Amino acid sequence: MKTETFPVVELFDSIEGEGKRTGYMAVFVRFAGCNLRCSYCDTGYALERSDAREQLTEEALLERIHSYPWKKVTLTGGEPLLQPLEGLCWTLSREGYGVNIETNGAVPLLEERPKGLFYTMDVKSPSSGMRGRMRMENLTRLTEDDVVKFVVGSREDLEDMERVLRDYTIRSQVYVSPVYGAIEPKELVEFVRDRKLAQVCVQVQLHKIIWDPEMRGV
């Protein structure tokens, strides 16, 4: 029987650049393959399964993760939930890891989640061109441990974020970040202040400030 493998573009350790673990060291596993084509995608090198640099079995993937001292893991892509992650996540949970799955919100979430796993889920803005592909029902499955992220590149995107927050009961932590180079962060701050969106945390991608914004593996 053929052993299932994971298409991995890159595996590295760095700081979390955004979200509720910002500034903490973590192990990042970037899988190849995505079901969306967002206009502002900054990982265009991981869209096709053929973009993988290596194919790793679950055992080999765990061995690589174990080689780092950090107990935080971020599974990203591409779209990580296109991969069979259940077994991997349950093993990492049993080993005491905290797992962050960065998902585009356009695929189903895991049927069950192990202890220590949380989602960082995008809500695709109008400027992404992918709003119609969203599974907005995923918002109802998220908990206070999860993160909902709006990546915005225009005033229209900010107003859309406000509508989503009004129309859906969101228990998760809410973050908004600018499309790099498309909108000034201060515009996000001013919008959140003027519209009194007390539940929204404005963030920037810290790794793009520390390193070259085009640099990989950071």
How do residues 4-22 score in pLDDT, each as one tens digit?
A: 899 999 999 999 999 999 9
pLDDT greater than 90 at residue 176: yes
**Dihedrals phi, psi of 82, to nearest 5 degrees:** -80, -10
Residue 216 maps to a domain: no
Range(s) of the domain holding residue 104: 6-210
Residue 107 maps to a domain: yes
The pair of structure tokens assigned to 158 is 């900010």
Residue 73 maps to a domain: yes
Q: Is beta strand 25-31 parallel, antiparallel or unpaired with respect to 6-15?
A: antiparallel
Structural domains in the chain (count): 1
Residue 95 maps to a domain: yes
Residue 45 maps to a domain: yes
Average pLDDT over residues 29-38: 97
pLDDT tens digits, residue range 180-218?
A: 888 999 999 999 999 999 999 999 878 778 777 776 776
pLDDT of residue 1: 43
Q: What is the CATH number of the domain that holds 65?
A: 3.20.20.70
pLDDT tens digits, residue range 107-141?
A: 999 999 999 999 999 999 999 999 999 999 999 99
Query: 190: how many CB neighbours lie within 10 A of its CB?
Result: 13
Residue 77 maps to a domain: yes
pLDDT band at 2 (very low <50, low <70, confident <90, very high): low
